[in-house]
Amino acid sequence: MASDVLQRHAVQVRGNPAGRPMVFAHGFGCDQTLWRFVAPAFEADHRVITFDYVGAGASDRSAYDPQRYASLDGYADDIRAICAALDLRDVVLVGHSVSTMIAALAAIAEPDRFGALILVTPSPRYLDDLPGYRGGFAPADIDGLLQMMDLNAMGWASYLAPIVMGNADRPVLASDLETTFCSIDPAMARQFAEVTFRGDNRTDLDQVTTPSLIIQCAQDAIAPPSVGAFVHDHLRGSDLREIAATGHCPHVSHPAETIAAIRSYLGAHEGQRTAGSA
Amino acid sequence: MSTVVDDVPGGILALDADLRITAANRALGVLVGRDPTSLIGEPFDVLLSLPARILFQTHVFPALQADGRIEEAFLTLATSEPEPTPVLVNAVRTTSDGVSRYDLLVVRVRARSRWEADLLRATQALQGERAAAQQVADKLTATARDLADRHDEERRNRSFRDAFVGVVSHELRTPITTIYGMSHVLKARLSSMDPADVAEHLSEIADEADRMRRLTEDLLVLSRAEGRQLNIGSEPILVAHLVRRAVDAEAERAPGHRFSVDVAVGQPMALGEDTYIDQVIRNLLSNAAKYSPAGTTIRITIKREDDGVAVRVIDEGPGLGDQAPDALFEVFYRAPGVIGTKSGAGIGLFVCRELIAAMGGRIWASAAPPPATSGAEFGFWLPGATDDDPDGDAGA
């Protein structure tokens, strides 16, 4: 049962077996390989766990269940199942993009399991809800995104390609795809996009009791600084750290700064935790 | 940029590690409707439409970072026109001294993208058609299965009917033959016959007529049960009354047996239909009389059990032997040892089971309870009426 979960999500466990566990959850697009610029830096002190959501990367794509993943709760359940299978406690859960909200849902459901949340470029809602809230996007933009994803999937762009191996329909692709690190099933990506960009998790933020660090990019078209500030306001006991970076993936474009931000946060809190328990 | 690069029919861009534009050719300026020099220093994704920004940040850039190159990414550029400009993007990442830079080729694909959009629509329509065809196929499969099921049921019914007609015609012919023969003898020789012989013949005619009557009653119930038309009322019934009446009637038919009725005080009223309960009791009593030797006692107990009424008919016959108790209640079942020695159609116990089940009760067969060492018990249980009157006149 436990090994089923680990296999389904292509779970990788590395680092210091005695260290405080860190679970890295990839966001919408790509898979766990995106953490390869950041996660190894924590292997000396932590037990480092990375995984793929079902439909992404090396996960068991046949296990994809459109009903389970019709909301972010299905993804949050996956993270909890992985943590339970490995019997992880006091987990540092690191989520990027939509996985910040998935992490929040997991922490709300099981606050005892998670000791800290690291939220990289979070947004609780991508659609505008004017006048009070500006998420950055209108419904038509999301329709455009879905259509563009369909066209990319049809054009066989490598980052939106079906199963790498054993796809009898498209044998010609196999050699191209061997060199592709990120791949994601188009049907999964499409539903993930809908759930992510049409969702609204603003009220969930108020229910999170786990301490958290928000990592925000100075210029991010998808999760702009105003959204980061909203998250900071609504997450009790959260720290906000802005990285002088452009884009939505600081763990890819600015790994050193991202590592430093996480490390200093965990270091400061490690001191507090030790002081608190003394 | 050099003239050559400027004149290439496609936009060329260079980005720094922070994805800011460090160089752009004239063709790119034309694509986005801006002077290329004014683009220097701007983040690349401001050139993109909002949906394309998401796709670039979540898919294209991570893949470019992971793989070092990306080919044929379909994106759209933001323009001053209402429709964004569709483009294909190829990009490579190069690293020197640990610092990345990105070179992008951006080609407009208006005609191709229109064609692709058509193709996409056609593909989606085709998928719809395929799903619809699958639905039709599924429906056909279901219909075929349904027909096969009905055919099987039809065949079962037919073989049941054949067996039924065979058994019934045999069972009815025997008493009719007797009645026919005896009545002809009486008619022809009545005046010359010894009165004792006349009485014996009349008694045989009456017995056979009674056997026919019972059989036809069973058949009637059976035909209703087979056609699922058994319609049972739910009246509160005082079972003890029915048992006493049935025992009186059966005692006349089986003068060689002793009957004892044991009614526990405080039984509730049962739910059911009195004519059917009566028929079940008569069937069980005549069965007990048939399969136990003359001179033995047939004991009937009536008790309150599980908020209902349990009736047991216990004989001192040979018992069930090796027979599976449930098999006794199957239609046309005849005990192995009795075929050819006892009359019967193998219908009575089946009818009892159908009637009791229709009234929401249970029926069973077992060895007679201790201390008896032989004999059989046939019993049934019926649910009690809710307006339960524990005293009733059960003890009267």
Q: DSSP E strands: which ranges in chain B?
A: 11-15, 21-24, 69-77, 85-96, 99-108, 235-237, 258-263, 270-272, 297-305, 308-314, 362-367, 376-383
Amino acid at B22: T
Active site residue A248: yes
Do A248 and A121 contact (CB within 8 A), yes or no? yes
Task: Give chain A positions within 8 Å (CB) of B62.
Answer: 29-30, 34, 159, 182, 249, 252
Contact between B234 and B272 under an 8 Å Cβ cutoff? The reply is: yes
CB contact under 8 A, A30 and B63: yes
Q: How far is A203 from chain B (nearest CA, A)?
A: 24
Distance, in angstroms, between B54 CA and closest chain A CA?
A: 6
Q: Using N-to-C axis directions, what is the helix angle for A98-109 and A72-85, rounded to 10°?
A: 60
Q: What confidence tens digit (pLDDT) does each residue in A61-71 have? A: 888 898 999 99
B75 contacts in A (CB within 8 Å)?
A: 148
Average pLDDT over residues A76-99: 96
Question: Do β-strands B69-77 and B85-96 pair in parallel, antiparallel, or remain unpaired?
Answer: antiparallel
Please, are residues B355 and B380 in contact by the beta-carbon 8 Å criterion? no
Residue in A with minimal Cα distance to B42: A246
pLDDT digits (tens, 9 = 90+) for A19-64: 999 999 999 887 898 898 899 999 999 999 999 999 888 888 888 8
Specify the pTM.
0.58
CA distances from B315 to B287, B320, B339 (A): 10, 11, 20
For the segment A117-137, what is each residue's pLDDT rounded down to a tens digit?
999 999 999 999 988 899 999
Cα A87 from Cα A80, distance rounded (Å):
10
Calculate the dihedral angle through the C-alpha atoms of A179, A93, A81, A67, rounding to the nearest 10 degrees: -70
Given the residues A31, A78, A204, A220, select the one marked as catalytic: A220
Decide if the complex's ipTM is over 0.85: no
Q: Nearest 5°: CA angle at B249, between B248 and B252?
A: 90
Measured CB to CB, residues of chain B less than 8 Å from chain A are 17-20, 43, 45-46, 49-55, 57-63, 65-67, 70-76, 84, 113, 116-117, 119-120, 123
- Cα distances from B321 to residues B11, B341, B353, B362, in angstroms, run 97, 17, 21, 22
How many Å lie between the alpha carbon of A1 and the closest alpha carbon of chain B? 32
More confident call, B1 vs A14: A14
Tens of pLDDT along chain B (396 residues) come to 566 677 788 899 999 988 899 999 998 998 888 899 999 999 998 899 989 998 888 888 888 887 788 888 888 998 877 788 888 899 999 988 888 899 999 998 877 667 777 777 887 888 888 888 888 988 999 999 999 999 988 887 777 677 777 777 777 887 888 888 888 888 888 888 888 888 888 888 888 888 788 888 877 776 766 655 556 666 788 888 889 888 988 888 888 899 999 888 776 788 887 878 888 998 899 889 888 888 899 999 999 888 889 999 999 988 887 777 787 887 666 655 554 455 565 778 888 888 888 888 999 998 888 887 888 999 999 988 765 444 444 433
Q: From CA A23, how far away is CA A39, in angstroms rounded? A: 9
Q: Is A212 a catalytic residue?
A: no
Sign, Cα dihedral of B185, B190, B196, B201:
positive
The span from the CA of A9 to the CA of A50, in Å, is 9
Report how far apart, in Å, the C-alpha atoms of A223 and of each of A30, A247, A249 are: 18, 9, 10
- Report which of residues A185 and B187 the model is more confident about: B187
> Contact A154/B123, CB-based, under 8 Å?
yes
Phi, psi for B85 (deg, rounded to 5): -90, 120
A-chain CB neighbours of B50 within 8 Å are 136-138, 141, 144, 221
